[in-house]
Amino acid sequence: MKIKSFLILATALVMVACGGNTSNKSNNEEAEAVAATATAMDIDALLSSAEELAGKEVEIEGICTHICSHGGRKIFLMGSDDTKTIRIEAGELGAFDQKCVNSIVKVKGILNEERIDEAYLKQWEALNAANAAEEHGDGEGGCSTEKAARGETGNTVEERIAGFRARIAERKASEGKEYLSFYFVLATAYEVVE
């Protein structure tokens, strides 16, 4: 009888000990997840350092405000407000999950610079004239989320090009640069955090 009682007590102690270990493990996993999230740069910091970070791997986190309806290959992450937004392209990942929208998303990838200069605008005009411009979004106005991320106000291709020309002229006058820089991340991995 004493042996049976001892075995039951020993089994109970092993079960309690294992249960405590599981709790410890989940606490450790939670701490690691918090630490991993803490290393991600926010969108505001990324945009303010974009020129120095272009071409480098970054890990960022922000609220996904939009997923491209043409195959889900682009999402947009917002920082502290809607003027601080960056485009994320899926690249080899294929497409982003619809769960990204209205969630905090952490992305790892390469920060790329896209320059818009006079040569770019002339090419765009030629494509538009040939009616071969790729349509994105609803009509020739383009995707409203991408336009907002680039600070565009025009609704037609012509208005958009004119707006870019005016902004390039302003930048040339103030900084001596005859182009506009827009940044995007080519994702290598992502996860929905919340």
Report angle CA 116, 117, 118 to the nearest 5 degrees: 135
What pLDDT is stored for residue 101 in this prediction? 92
What pLDDT is stored for residue 151 in this prediction? 78
Q: Which residue has the higher pLDDT, 80 or 153?
A: 80
Say how far apart CA 36 and CA 134 lie, in whole Å: 38
Does the pLDDT at position 83 exceed 80?
Answer: yes
pLDDT in tens, 30-70: 444 444 445 899 999 999 999 999 999 999 999 999 998 88
What pLDDT is stored for residue 157 in this prediction? 87
- Mean pLDDT to the nearest integer, 176-184: 94
Say how far apart CA 64 and CA 185 lie, in whole Å: 14
What pLDDT is stored for residue 194 in this prediction? 76
Q: Which residue has the higher pLDDT, 47 or 5?
A: 47
Classify residue 94 as exposed, middle or buried by CB count within 10 Å of its CB (0-12, 13-18, 19+). exposed
pTM of the model: 0.70
CB contact at 8 A, 191 and 106: yes
pLDDT in tens, 84-123: 999 999 999 999 999 999 999 999 999 999 999 999 999 9
Q: Which of 73-77, 178-182, 190-194 has the lowest mean pLDDT?
A: 190-194
pLDDT in tens, 115-148: 999 999 999 999 888 875 455 444 555 677 787 7
What pLDDT is stored for residue 15 in this prediction? 37
What pLDDT is stored for residue 132 in this prediction? 53
What pLDDT is stored for residue 168 in this prediction? 96
What pLDDT is stored for residue 142 in this prediction? 62
DSSP 59: E
Phi-psi region of 187 (alpha: psi -120 to 50; beta: other; left: phi over 0): beta
Does the pLDDT at position 177 exceed 90?
Answer: yes
How many CB atoms lie under 10 A from the CB of residue 14?
10
Three-class HEC string of 106-143: EEEEEEEEEEECHHHHHHHHHHHHCCCCCCCCCCCCCC
Say how far apart CA 130 and CA 124 lie, in whole Å: 10
Phi-psi region of 102 (alpha: psi -120 to 50; beta: other; left: phi over 0): left
